[in-house]
Amino acid sequence: MQPRLLDRVAVVTGAASGIGAAVARRFVGEGAQVVLTDLNVEQGERLAAELGDQALFLRQDVSDPADWQALAALVRERFPRLDVLVNNAGVLIPGSIEEATLEQWHRLLRINSDSVFLGCQTAVALMKDAGGGSIINMSSIAALAARHDYLAYGASKGAVAALTRSVAVHCRRAKYRIRCNSVHPDGVMTPMTQGGYPQGMDSSLFTIDHDPMNRACLPEDVAGAVLYLASDDSRAVNGIELRVDSGQFVMSI
């Protein structure tokens, strides 16, 4: 069976750990050339070295327009085109309407939402004259179901979902052959989310052998969904909100 991303060029932000690292590994395994970006240079370079000649690392602050310009210049210089962008980088800060500060609000919107706006602009400019591509924006179940204790985080991820739909519609109307979809994980054990889990939580809930409908999600579970949206298997899928949460969202309503 031919690899699903053979000879394609992908960028994955926030790729040094967690979901981003799982996506980068999966993409390389499926034949893609992958540019990994992150602020964690040591970890990012280590992963790129582990993945070999199909991967390279670029330090990037995703909230900085100049860093997106540098990424676009790198893609133009090193590759013929950009086929896939995964806007994955983000931060998680708890806080209710009574606890959250304006500084936290601005930081979450800047890193989680502004970065996706900048990434989509960059990707559309690179993809529209090169035959199209797939943009995958990492949102969250928090964009769809309210959490009282993650006010700004939920708002930032809700903005990602709305932005995704708008980009999808724009690119279809412009006939750019660019698809844009959002992924909405929940309950994923990553370095970013570990602090939010109860102390002493049963670690077996995060093992691959545990009942997949009654366990927390793994980064690899999300990577599989992202791979689907990056590949031709989803060529007719555009503007959707793909939940990866073992059914937790539908159980809560």
Catalytic residues: 153
Asked if 93 and 107 count as a contact pair (C-beta separation under 8 A), the reply is yes
Q: Position 103: which residue type?
A: E
Q: Which of 166, 177, 169 is nearest to 130 (CA)?
A: 177
Say how many C-beta atoms besides its own lie within 10 A of residue 104's C-beta. Answer: 17
Q: How far, in Å, CA of 20 to CA of 249, rounded? A: 22
Q: Is 232 helix (H, G, I), strand (E, B) or coil?
A: helix
Kindly tell me the number of DSSP H helices and DSSP E strands found in the chain: 8, 7
Asked if 34 and 63 count as a contact pair (C-beta separation under 8 A), the reply is no
Asked if 109 and 154 count as a contact pair (C-beta separation under 8 A), the reply is no
Residue positions counted in the chain: 253
Asked if 237 and 181 count as a contact pair (C-beta separation under 8 A), the reply is yes
Alpha helix positions (H), the chain:
18-29, 41-51, 65-78, 102-108, 115-127, 151-173, 219-230, 248-251
Say how many C-beta atoms besides its own lie within 10 A of residue 115's C-beta. Answer: 28
